[in-house]
Structure 1
Amino acid sequence: MGIFDRYLAGQLLVYFGFFSLVLVAVYWVNRALGLFDRLIAGGSNVLTFIEFTALALPNVIAVVLPVSALVATLYGINRLAADSEMVVAQTTGLSPWRLARPVLVFGLAVGLMVAVLGHILVPASRTALAERGAELSQDITSRFLKEGEFLHPGTGVTVYVREITPKGELLGLFLQDRRSPAVRTSYTAERALLVRADDGTRLVMFDGMAQSVQTADRTLVTTTFDDFAYDLAGLAGGGDGTRRRDPRELSTLALLRADAAAQRATGDDVAKLRYEGNARFSEALFAFALPLLALGFLMLGNYSRLGLWRQILGAVVAAVVLKMLGNVAETSARGDATLWWLTYVPPLLTLALGAGLVWHDTRGIGGLRRGAAA
C-alpha cells in the first residue's frame, strides 16, 4: 500500500471505530434498560446483569458494524473533500479506481470483522446466553429469598416470606397457586426449605395448611399437614430439561447441512436453517460492499460549496433500499430451500452498484474532480 492508501484507510478506520463505539453504546443502553428491569425484578444481582449484557454485545456489534462502515466512509470522504485533500489527491493523477483501493481495503477489514462475529463469536455468545438464561430460570431460590415482599416467580403464583434465617429457612410462608382454572390453592406454613433434587427444585413446607377452592361451585377444602413438598418445576418452565435451540446458535456448517439432527434441535425446517447459514456470508459481503457504494455516490455530481449532502442522502437511501430488498430475499429464502441463493442478491447488487458508480466516474470528470477544476 502507498502512503495515500495507508492514510485514507487509517482515517476511515479511526472514524469507523468512533462511530462503532457511539452506535454500540446507544444500542446497548436501549436494550440494557429493559434487561436490567427484568433481571433485577426477578431477584438477580448486578453481576448477573453485567454477565448478560456482555454476552449480548457480540450480536449488537455485528448489527452495528455495517452501519458504522457506511457512516464512516461518508463522513471521512466528505471531510477529506471539504478540506481539499481529496481534490489534491485527484490532481496528482490518481484515478477513481486508485482512490477506491484504500476504501476496498477498509471494506475488506470490516467484512472480516463481521464474518468472525457471525461465524464464531455470535453463535458462541448466543449459546452461552441461552444456557445461562436456562440456569437462571431454574434458580427459583433467588425469586423466593426476599423478606416481607409479595413475589411472583411464575404466572399465577404469589409467594410471601415473613423472615429468612441465616440457615436459609423460610419462616411465615404464604404461597398461592392460581395456574389451574378449575381450582385455586393457598398454602401457609410456619417454616419451609428449598430443596434441590436431580429432577428439579422443591419447596418443603412444615406445619402448615392448604386451602383449595373449586371455582365451579365455590367449594372450600382445607387440609392440614406436618410436611408437604411442592414441586417448583412448573415455575421454571417444566419439561424434561431440554430446550429448543435457536438456529443462530449452531455452527455455519451445521446450518448449511441442515440435517435431521439440526432440525430436531431447532424445530425449524431445511429452508430456515440454510438461510441462516448463508446469511452469515451475505452479511459479511454486504459490509464489504457498503464503503464502495458510499464512495461511488460521493464521486457523483457537480462541485458545490454546499457540500456533498445530496450524494450522502443518495447513498443512505440506496443502502436502506438494498437492506429492504434483503428482507424480501429473506422471506423468500426462508420459505423455499431452493431459493437460498437469493440471500446473496442484495450484497452483490450493492457491490455492483458501487463498482458501477466508480466506473462511471472514470468516463468523465466526477464531482470531486470538478472541485479541482473550479
Structure 2
Amino acid sequence: MATPFIGRLDRYLAGEIARPFALTLLIAALLLVLERLLRLLDMIVQSQGAPDMVWRMLAALLPHYVGLALPLGLFIGTLAAFRRLSLSSELDALFAAGIAPGRLLRPVYAMTLAVVAVSILLTAYVQPLARYTFNRLVFEATGQALGGGLTPGRFYTLPDGITLFARGIGTDGDMRGVFLHRPSQGDRPEQTLTAARGQLLADPGGSRVVLDLAEGRMLRPAGDPPGAAAFERAEIPLFDSGLAAFRSRGALPREMTLRELAQTLAGAVPERVPGHMIAEVRAALHWRILYVLTFLPLPLLAVAVGPVAKRRAGLVRALVGLVIVIAYHEALQTGQSATRDGASPWLTMWPVFAGLCAIAGAFYARWRALPR
C-alpha cells in the first residue's frame, strides 16, 4: 500500500506547485511583453514599417522573458504550494503519518530538474538565436525608416544605440539642425555632435551608411576640460547599409551559444570577437552557468519560508524569502557588470551564488529542526 500512496503524494504535490508556477510565469512574461510592446510600437510607427514586424519582434523576445520569469515562477510556485498545505493543516497530517520533511522535496526537485532542463535549452541555444533574430528585425525596421526618408523633428534610435535628430529635412535629403549621440562601445569613446547641415550617404564600398556633417561642434569626451570642439566637416560611420546583408551571428556575446562562448574564451576561435570583448564573453558565460545553478537552492528557501506558524498566518516569512531572491538577482547583475569591466567572476559572481546557497540551506535546516 505504500507505493501507491507515495505515487499519489508526488502527483498531488507536483500539481499544487504547478498551478501557481504556471500562473506566475504567465503574469510575469505578460507584464514584460506589454512593457516592451509600447516601445516597439513607437519604433515601428516612426519607421513606417509593417505592423506585423511588432509581433515578430515580440516572438523573438519571448524566450528572453520566459527565462527571466522562470526562477521567480519556481520560487513562488513552491512557496505558495507549501503555504496552502500549511494553512489547510495538510502538512501536519503528512508529518503525523510519518512523512519526513526531506521526503517532500522529492516531487519539488523533480519539477526543479525539469525547469533546469528548460533553462539549459533556453540559455545555451534558444535565447542567443532569438536575440540575433531580434537585432536583425530592428535593423530591417530601421532600414525601412531610412529608405522611406527621415521625418524632421523626430528622434530616431539606430543600431548600436545611436540617436539621430534633424530639425529640418529638404526634399533632396539634406538635413538641417542635426544632433547625433553615439554611446561608447569597446575602445570607441562616446560621441555627441551637433551640426548645421548633414546628409546620409553610402560609403564608396556601399556597405556602410555614413553621416556627412558640416559646420558642427563635438562635445569633448569625459576627462577633458568642458566645452566643444568646432569642425568644418566630418564623416561619421553609422551602421551597415540596408543594401548589404545583416552581419553574421556571433559578433556579440549575447548572440553566442553556450558552446561558442566557451570556445571563444578558450581561444579556439580567437577571431570571433576583438580582444577588448573577452571580459564581456567571460561575464556572459559565467552568468549563464550561474543562472542554471540558481534553480537548485531556490526550492529549499521556498519550502522553508512557505509554511506558516500556528495561529500566525502572516506574510512576513514569505516576503523575506522574496526579498532574498530579488536581492540575489540584483547582486548577481552587479557582479556581472563588474566582470565585464575586467574583474574576476570568481570574486564578483560566484560568492553571490554561494551566499544564496548558504542562506537557503540555513533557512531549510531551521525549518526541518522545528518540532512536529
Q: Normalized against structure 2, the TM-score is what?
A: 0.72
Q: 1:238-317 residue pairs with structure 2 within 5 A?
A: 245-257=251-263, 258=265, 259=267, 261=269, 265=273, 268-299=276-307, 302-304=309-311, 306-317=312-323
The 1:201–1:215 alpha-carbon spacing in structure 2 relative to 1, beyond 3 Å, is closer
Name the counterpart of 1:126: 131
Is 1:107 aligned to residue 112 of structure 2? Answer: yes
One of 29, 37, 46 as aligned partner of 2:42: 37
Is 1:66 aligned to residue 74 of structure 2? Answer: no
Q: CA deviation at 1:324?
A: 3.5
The one-letter amino acid of 1:272's match is: E
Name the counterpart of 2:174: 176
The one-letter amino acid of 2:114's match is: A
Could you tell me whether the CA contact under 8 Å between 2:20 and 2:81 is conserved in 1?
yes
The 1:351–1:4 alpha-carbon spacing in structure 2 relative to 1, beyond 3 Å, is farther
Name the counterpart of 1:156: 166
The 1:144–1:235 alpha-carbon spacing in structure 2 relative to 1, beyond 3 Å, is farther
One of 318, 322, 325 as aligned partner of 2:328: 322
The 1:25–1:253 alpha-carbon spacing in structure 2 relative to 1, beyond 3 Å, is same
Could you tell me whether the CA contact under 8 Å between 2:154 and 2:166 is conserved in 1?
no
**Higher mean displacement: 124-133 or 233-242:** 233-242
Deviations 1:3-46 (A, max 9, x none): 21221112212221111111111111011111111112211121
Larger Rg: 1
Q: 1:87-98 residue pairs with structure 2 within 5 A?
A: 87-98=92-103
Gaps of 5+ in 2: 1-5, 157-163, 179-192, 218-235
The 1:314–1:251 alpha-carbon spacing in structure 2 relative to 1, beyond 3 Å, is same
CA distance in 2, matches of 1:101, 1:283: 22
Gaps of 5+ in 1: 161-172, 187-194, 203-211, 217-232, 370-374
Deviations 1:45-104 (A, max 9, x none): 210111111111111111111111122122221112222222221211111111222222
Aligned residues: 319
One of 199, 202, 213 as aligned partner of 2:206: 199
Local SS of the residue matching 1:45:
coil
Name the counterpart of 1:22: 27
Deviations 1:316-345 (A, max 9, x none): 122233334323432443344644475333
Local SS of the residue matching 1:269:
helix
Q: CA deviation at 1:360?
A: 3.0
Q: Normalized against structure 1, the TM-score is what?
A: 0.71
Q: CA deviation at 1:237?
A: 5.8
CA distance in 1, matches of 2:290, 2:296: 10
